[in-house]
Amino acid sequence: MKKSTVITIHLVYWGIYLFNNAIQALLAPLTIKDQQSYGIFTTALGLFTIVIFYISYLNVFKLIKNKWWVIASILTALALCALILLVKQEYFMFFFRTYMTIITWSVYGALFRFFIDWINKERIQLQQSKQNLKSELALLRNQINPHFLFNSLHNIDTLITKDPQKASDSLLQLSDMLRYSFNEAEWEFIELSKEIEYLKKYINLQNLRVSNTELVELNIAVNGSDTKIAPMLLIPFVENAFKHTTEKDKKHGIIITLSEESGIINFCINNLHNPEKIISKDTSKGIGLSNVSKRLEILYPGRHKLEISHDSEFFKVKLMIDTNIGKKE
């Protein structure tokens, strides 16, 4: 909470409090002379409560952290209790009221301080979460992993003599991917269509490595042109599928389905996975599926569902994202 906001809250609160005391003094059913005395007393009491409030407000954490403050406060409270019991009966209510006023406004001051600090703590945690998210995105932008990049350049180099046009198209796609990862990914959210284009180019470049042109089955059904998604959120799942597919010679060894309707994104990806067979030797480390899950928790808390499972044949990922709440431009 901004300092100016805290000051405003204090001023408004005490303005209302003192105004209320003034109204009570004016409406008191007393003589004019008594009204003046009562007004002075009420004002003095109001100022006294403000002093007590801020003594507690400013020192509550010292009191908690320092045992001598705690002991001194307890002894003071006990001494006041003893004093109240010893005074004459006609003064008892005056001392008791004063004592209860001190206790009450001390508690109010402490609670107010805890409330302000709790709000500030929430704000700091939110800022830290955003900073962590930016760090993860920065990591992800740098994560067109070197193995994929070197392989793509090598495959394009091989194509230059065999199929110059295809080599040129592939080089342009790789260039677009790099531009996307460093420029578009700067935004917190981007159009879903751009993320889809990135996935398609990634798949096309990966297909240069395998002779099976039917390895990937890609099914896309997107209705909302204005739907947005966090950039490079889906690519780790596709990368994982290519890396760990054990049957790269089979038709539809990787099946990708992406649909969107009314702001709800459904993403499914299955890849053939035989635990008994040696998987890809690509040992490069992307951000990992666990870190993608953390990003989802930060970006879409309570608005996504991620299911990861596998059996003796397929490794499966199902992701649902509701982009309707908290959209950001």
Tens-place pLDDT, residues 155-168: 888 889 888 998 99
Give the pLDDT of residue 313. Answer: 84
272's torsion region: left (phi>0), alpha (psi -120 to 50) or beta? beta
Q: What is the pLDDT of residue 217?
A: 93
pLDDT greater than 80 at residue 106: no
pLDDT bracket for residue 1 (50, 70, 90): low
Q: Where are the domains of the chain?
A: 3-125, 142-322
pLDDT the model gives residue 16: 74
pLDDT in the model for residue 251: 87
Residue 301 has pLDDT above 70, yes or no: yes
For residues 128-134, average pLDDT = 71
* pLDDT over threshold 70, residue 145: no
Q: Distance of CA 284 to CAs 146, 165, 287, Å? A: 8, 30, 10
pLDDT at residue 125, as a whole number: 75
pLDDT of residue 39: 57
Confidence of residue 285 (pLDDT cuts 50, 70, 90): very low
pLDDT at 322 > cutoff 90: yes
- Give pLDDT, residue 20: 67
Q: How far apart are CA 61 and CA 57, in angstroms?
A: 9
Band (pLDDT 50/70/90 cuts) for residue 260 is very high
Instruction: Give the model's confidence band at 307: pLDDT under 50 very low, under 70 low, under 90 confident, else very high.
Output: very high
Average pLDDT, integer, range 86-106: 65
Strands 228-229 and 304-310: unpaired
Task: Determine the Cα–Cα distance for residues 72 and 67; give it in Å rounded to an integer.
Answer: 9
276 vs 31: which has the higher pLDDT: 276
Mean pLDDT on 134-151: 65
Highest mean pLDDT among 34-48, 120-134, 315-329: 315-329
Average pLDDT over residues 11-35: 63
Q: 194 or 225, which is more confident?
A: 194
pLDDT at residue 283, as a whole number: 45
Angstrom distance (rounded) from CA 215 to CA 229? 27
What pLDDT is stored for residue 282 in this prediction? Answer: 47
Q: Tell me if 173 sits within 8 A of 204, measured CB to CB.
A: yes
CATH superfamily for 142-322 is: Histidine kinase-like ATPase, C-terminal domain (3.30.565.10)
Task: State residue 209's pLDDT score.
Answer: 81
Predicted confidence (pLDDT) per residue in 153-211, tens digit: 888 888 898 889 989 999 999 898 888 877 776 787 889 999 999 999 999 998 888 77
Which of residues 202 and 134 earns the better pLDDT score?
202
> Token pair of 166, please?
């295809």
Residue 48 CA to residue 110 CA, distance in Å, equals 16
DSSP collapsed to 3 states, 91-157: HHHHHHHHHHHHHHHHHHHHHHHHHHHHHHHHHHHHHHHHHHHHHHHHHHHCCCCHHHHHHHHHHHH
pTM of the model as a whole? 0.57
| Per-residue confidence (pLDDT) for residue 223, from 0 to 100 | 75
- How do beta strands 190-191 and 254-261 pair? unpaired
**What does the pLDDT average to over 78-89?**
66
